[in-house]
Amino acid sequence: MRLEYFDMIDQVMAFDADRKRLTTASNVPMESTVFEGHFPGYPLVPGVLLTETMAQASGFLALILNGFTKMPFLMAVDSVRFRTFVEPGAVLETDAELALEGSGYVATRASISSGGKPVCNGELRLRLMPFPAELSALMRARADKIGLDAVEYAGPA
Amino acid sequence: MSSTFETVAEIISDTCDLPIEEITRESHAIEDLGIDSLDFLDVAFAIDKAFGIKLPLEQWTEEVNEGRAPAEEYFVLGNLCKRIDDLAAAKTA
């Protein structure tokens, strides 16, 4: 994870094509400028960045499902609950599962756990839009970096 | 059991924070109720969930933008409810 660059997902761990569920791993860094303010002497990953982590996992899930034809943008966050603190060095597992696929949007249920214990969970909705020219290559590169290119999904039967 | 219109009106009232008495079958979602595109996605999500359908919003928007259909055909609530009923019926057929 590079918190200050909003680069939250390190590795794709699994993709369940039947359940349309993506599992990813993220390693919280020991140091970050984010921790210098949040909080001095008591570093914690901010809840909004955990929400961003769930959103990015959901976004990568959306990209798999639409074959990288549309760019997902976070549009709504519902019922997010933060259950425990996340400290530097923690290893996070994020699950994002498709809840509903609409026309121009997807809804997901996402959760983060660490060491088998729940960290946070919520329901997210992402708007699907034509890829801005500047983002197509960037998103491909990010996806390849975390191993998304190895995920096989043929689309709905 | 609520009618399609009653369910849609309640969804719009809750989602867009509008008084339900201002929502009629003749209301145009965008021009009368002031629902923007992002709010309408929220409304579509709630409608899709409530009725178990998938409103073809992208197709409708394309048809309106290309002048192949008037906006009223999809965004006046009475017409929208008819589309919802057709989609729900097609699902169970």
Q: Read off the pLDDT band of A154 (50, 70, 90).
A: low
d(CA A6, CA B25): 45
d(CA A2, CA B4): 48
Of the candidates A29, A2, A24, the one whose C-alpha atom is nearest the C-alpha of residue A12 is: A24
* B45–A103 C-beta distance less than 8 A: no
- The yes/no answer on whether domain A3-150 falls in CATH 3.10.129.10 is yes
Q: Is the pLDDT of residue A86 over 90?
A: yes
Give the helix/strand (H/E) hosting A152: none
| Residue B36: domain span | 4-92
Which of B37, B45, B58 should be substituted to probe chain A, the one whose Cβ sees the most A Cβ atoms within 10 Å?
Answer: B45
What is the ipTM metric for this complex?
Answer: 0.84
Q: Read off the pLDDT band of A156 (50, 70, 90).
A: low
**What's the CATH code of the domain at B22?**
1.10.1200.10
Domain count, chain B: 1
* pTM metric for this prediction: 0.91
CA dihedral sign of residues A81, A83, A85, A89: negative
Q: Is the pLDDT of residue B1 over 90?
A: no
Query: What separation in angstroms does the CA of B22 have from each of A2, A13, B6, B34?
Result: 48, 50, 12, 12
Which of A65, A73, A105 should be substituted to probe chain B, the one whose Cβ sees the most B Cβ atoms within 10 Å?
Answer: A105
| Annotated domain spans of chain A | 3-150
Q: Calculate how close chain B gets to A126, using CA atoms only, in Å.
A: 10
Averaged pLDDT for residues A120-130: 96
The answer to whether A103 faces chain B, any CB pair under 8 Å, is: yes
- Other beta carbons within 10 angstroms of residue B59's beta carbon come to 13
